[in-house]
Amino acid sequence: MGLQCGIVGLPNVGKSTLFNCLSSGKAQSANFPFCTIEPNVGVITVPDERLSALAELVHPQKIVPTTVEIVDIAGLVKGASRGEGLGNKFLANIRETDAIIHVLRCFEDENIVHVDGRIDPVRDKEIIDAELQIKDLETVESRISKVQKQAQTGGDKAARLQFDVLSRYREALLQGRSARTVAFDTKDEQRIAQELYLLTAKPVLYVCNVDEACASEGNDLVEAVRAAARDEDAEILVLAAKLESEIAEFDSYEERQLFLAEIGLAESGVNRLIKSAYKLLRLETFLTAGPQEVRAWTYPRGSKAPQCAGVIHSDFEKGFIRAEVIKYEDYIRYGSEAAVREAGRMGVEGKDYVVKDGDVMHFRFNV
């Protein structure tokens, strides 16, 4: 589906270290601002243990997981909205992404300089929020100036609706609130809001980068971030980027799991981040299983069977007849598609079926 999450943050908060853990591509990581200038892009596999479990039963020729692109965007600074640092270019990179992963430094280390001299993740969050909000306010003010007269005197309903959406965004931004805090009830309002492509309307995941000692429980700085983001529709994740870079050095899965167990973690922070990013984009996965491949397919949460069929091929959606659906748990319980069918646990669903995460699907179509 070509989905992108952009990693942002002030300089020296651990963005590039985290990106290096996520991606096979190696971003430059150094102890000075703007060591990342061009955005680095990595295609990240979304971890899904269900694929391996199905493959053990089906014995396919290959396993194909779903993916999300992660973009390492250079560090922003105060004044970026006015072009300070390399701000305008970075803001343009953010605009192209579907969601934002905002890395906040929640650890002390006298050997790593902070651009503002002291550690305060809430202040860091507010700096970047403000820069993005200023840019959004410019966009909103510009649009308002174009439609205001037509909306107020011309009797144009479409212009009036657009003006109302813009005005609500303008009010929120002037109050220092991000666009994502504004909710719209009607589909027309939601469509207009989406077409504005505002930076602060994008879903956000705050990643609190802590030291190894706080990797499982967090710390007071993390709690301050939780309090600051309480009214936002945002996810918060705690991980230790330096620790994650050590985990990434292990060659085998077994070695990584042993190391994680020793430090009291059930799963690596990188895996949790990828899953959180996937969730952040309001995406789910349906599965297909056969002798050629076991595969994960990405679809927007709430999609119906024909739309999910179209994810595989547009002809599947155009000629959709029905979907044969096996719940993942039933597939594992009975051990094969034939056994599920014999047990009467295969569902035959029509056009109105809302696909559930983990459904094992087979589509019947005719074009």
**pLDDT by residue (tens digit) across 208-222?**
999 988 888 889 999
To the nearest whole number, what is the mean pLDDT of the chain? 85
Comparing 151-155, 226-230, 294-298, 361-365, which segment has the lowest mean pLDDT? 151-155
Give the number of other CB atoms < 10 A from CB of residue 2: 8
Nearest alpha-carbon partner for 25 in 8, 7, 5, 44 = 44
Give the number of other CB atoms < 10 A from CB of residue 321: 13
Q: What are the φ/ψ torsions at residue 158 (nearest 5 degrees)?
A: -65, -40
Residue 108, SS3?
Answer: coil
Q: Which residue has the tokens 């000629």?
A: 319
Mean pLDDT on 347-365: 96
How far is the C-alpha of 234 from the C-alpha of 223, rounded, in Å? 14
343 and 336 Cβ atoms separated by less than 8 Å: no
Give the number of other CB atoms < 10 A from CB of residue 228: 19
Nearest alpha-carbon partner for 106 in 29, 192, 215, 260 = 215
How far is the C-alpha of 222 from the C-alpha of 354, rounded, in Å? 37
Please state, in angstroms and as integers, the Cα–Cα distance from residue 173 to each residue in 176, 201, 348, following that order.
Answer: 5, 11, 48
* DSSP β-ladder status, 347-349 and 360-365: unpaired
Whether residue 26 is predicted with pLDDT greater than 80 in this model: the reply is no
Is the sign of the CA dihedral 324, 327, 328, 329 positive or negative? negative
Whether residue 271 is predicted with pLDDT greater than 80 in this model: the reply is yes
Whether residue 77 is predicted with pLDDT greater than 60 in this model: the reply is no
Instruction: Show Cβ contacts of residue 170 under 8 Å, excluding neighbours closer than 6 positions.
Output: 137, 140, 141, 144
Note the pTM of the prediction, 2 decimals: 0.80
Nearest alpha-carbon partner for 123 in 221, 242, 202, 235 = 221
Locate 150 and state its tokens: 């037509």
DSSP assignment string, 40-68: EEEEEE---HHHHHHHHHH--SEEE--EE
126 and 9 Cβ atoms separated by less than 8 Å: no
Instruction: Show Cβ contacts of residue 49 under 8 Å, excluding neighbours closer than 6 positions.
Output: none
Is pLDDT larger for residue 237 or for residue 266?
Answer: 237
What pLDDT is attached to residue 112?
Answer: 64
Is pLDDT larger for residue 232 or for residue 295?
Answer: 295
**Best-predicted range by mean pLDDT among 115-119, 235-239, 255-259, 344-348?**
344-348
248 and 21 Cβ atoms separated by less than 8 Å: yes
Helix H or strand E segment including 97: none
Q: Give the model's confidence band at 86: pLDDT under 50 very low, under 70 low, under 90 confident, else very high.
A: very low
